[in-house]
Structures are given as C-alpha cells and as structure tokens.
C-alpha cells in the first residue's frame, strides 16, 4: 500500500446519489487516494476548513449555493486545493464562471467514465489543468473572442512569463521544472506570484490570459 504521506486527499461533493456512489466505488478502491464524500456545499466548506483536501470533485448544479459559488469559497479558504467541476450541462456560462472561480478542471458527467474521473484527480493533483474535449472546443472558441479585446496589464518577470507560457501549453509543475531546470517548489512559487499579479484564481484562467495576450503564438 502507498505511503499515507503520499496519498491524495479527495473530497467528493455531489447531491446525485447514483453518480456519487459510482465515483466513490472507483476512488475508494484506489490505494493512493483518501476519499471523503458529502452531498452539499456547506458540508464541503466545513471539510475544507478542517482538513484542506488536495482535490475537490464538485458538482456544478446543487440545491442552495451553486457549485461555482462553492468553488470560489473553497479557493478563498484553500488556494492550493485543485477543483474539478462535474456537470451534466455543457453550457458555456457554467464553464467560464467555473474557471473564473478557480476551477482546475471541468468534466461532463455524461461524457466521462468513473475511471476517467479518477485519472482527472491524479492530473489535477500533479498540478495540471483538465477539461473534457467537448468543453475544450467551447473554450477555444471563447479564446478567439477574448483575443480580440485588450488584455489586462501586469508586470511579470521574464521567468514568470516563461512559466506562464508553459502553463498555457498544459505542462504540469514537474514538466515545467524539467523544462526550465528549476525545482517544483520554485515553479509553484512562480505560479503563485503570477496568479497574484494577474489577480486570478487558477492556472486555467492564467492560461486564458496568456492566449488573450498572445504570449503563446502556436495555440
């Protein structure tokens, strides 16, 4: 069994019992994952406050406070927690608002297997962003539109710009560290500084900024 210190702490937040059970069966059987389940946003915030998870799987549409609202609240409490939004909706507004609120991933329930959800947890825990192919197309269309407008100004250092370009290409912290011959902790520090300077909450939102600012010519 994996060392407890290396296990990924996962919080599953979904009010749809059938879907939650399916995901739970797969994640609970994984020796590298520690899973906690709740069916509401308030319970999720309590769990995050008491013991911040590495990754949260969060339903977009829930009774009471929306998943997008809970996503923003979680990031305010635990900025390093990765959040994967789960939804049966492919509405662009949900996607964009989730990214603005700090989500690191976005998966359609109908288009993702339980095993793919487990893999998504591993990717986000490693520092990557993740989005389903269907929603990626919608996001790229949005990139085209926002690239026509002015980008916000920000004073990023040369190294921060290098890191931002690699983030926009989808590289994980480990891959960025290897590319630039620096440590993963240094990469994390650069990304934290980038998000602070850009006043953004997630890697994905920073990647959108990079495209809008035409920092990555071949995307």
In sequence order, the 6+-apart residues with CB closer than 8 A to the CB of 50 are none
Which pair of structure tokens corresponds to residue 41?
A: 């946003």
- Of residues 206 and 49, which shows the higher confidence score? 49
**Residues 15/106, Cβ–Cβ less than 8 Å:** no
Mean pLDDT of 60-82: 88
In sequence order, the 6+-apart residues with CB closer than 8 A to the CB of 127 are 82, 172, 173, 174, 187, 188, 203
The model carries a pTM of 0.68
143: left (phi over 0), alpha (psi -120 to 50) or beta: alpha
Q: Which of 132, 151, 159 shows the shortest CA–CA distance to 207?
A: 151
Please state the φ and ψ torsions of residue 108, each to the nearest 5 degrees: -85, 130
Q: Which of 71-75, 113-117, 195-199, 207-211 has the highest mean pLDDT?
A: 71-75
Cα(81)–Cα(122) distance, integer angstroms: 13
Residue-wise pLDDT tens digits, 189-198: 998 898 888 8
Number of Cβ within a 10 Å radius of residue 141: 10
Cα(70)–Cα(152) distance, integer angstroms: 26
Mean pLDDT of 10-30: 88
| CB-count burial class (<10 Å; 0-12, 13-18, 19+) for 190 | buried
Q: Is the pLDDT of residue 150 over 50?
A: no
């Amino acid at each position: 069994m994996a060392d407890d210190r290396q296990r990924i702490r996962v919080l599953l937040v979904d009010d749809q019992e059938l879907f939650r059970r399916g995901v739970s069966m797969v994640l609970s059987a994984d020796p590298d994952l520690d899973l906690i389940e709740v069916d509401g946003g308030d319970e999720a915030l309590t769990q995050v406050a008491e013991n911040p998870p590495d990754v949260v799987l969060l339903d977009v549409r829930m009774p009471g406070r929306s998943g997008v609202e809970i996503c923003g609240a979680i990031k305010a409490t635990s900025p390093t927690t990765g959040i994967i939004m789960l939804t049966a909706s492919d509405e662009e507004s949900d996607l964009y608002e989730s990214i603005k609120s700090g989500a690191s991933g976005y998966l359609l329930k109908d288009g993702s297997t339980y095993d793919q959800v487990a893999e998504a947890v591993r990717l986000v825990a490693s520092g990557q962003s993740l989005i389903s192919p269907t929603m990626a197309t919608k996001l790229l269309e949005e990139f085209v539109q926002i690239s026509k407008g002015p980008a916000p100004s920000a004073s990023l250092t040369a190294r921060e710009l290098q890191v931002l370009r690699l983030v926009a290409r989808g590289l994980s912290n480990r891959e960025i560290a290897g590319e630039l011959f620096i440590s993963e902790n240094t990469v994390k520090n650069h990304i934290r500084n980038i998000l602070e300077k850009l006043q953004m909450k997630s890697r994905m939102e920073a990647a959108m900024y990079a495209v809008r600012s035409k920092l990555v010519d071949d995307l």
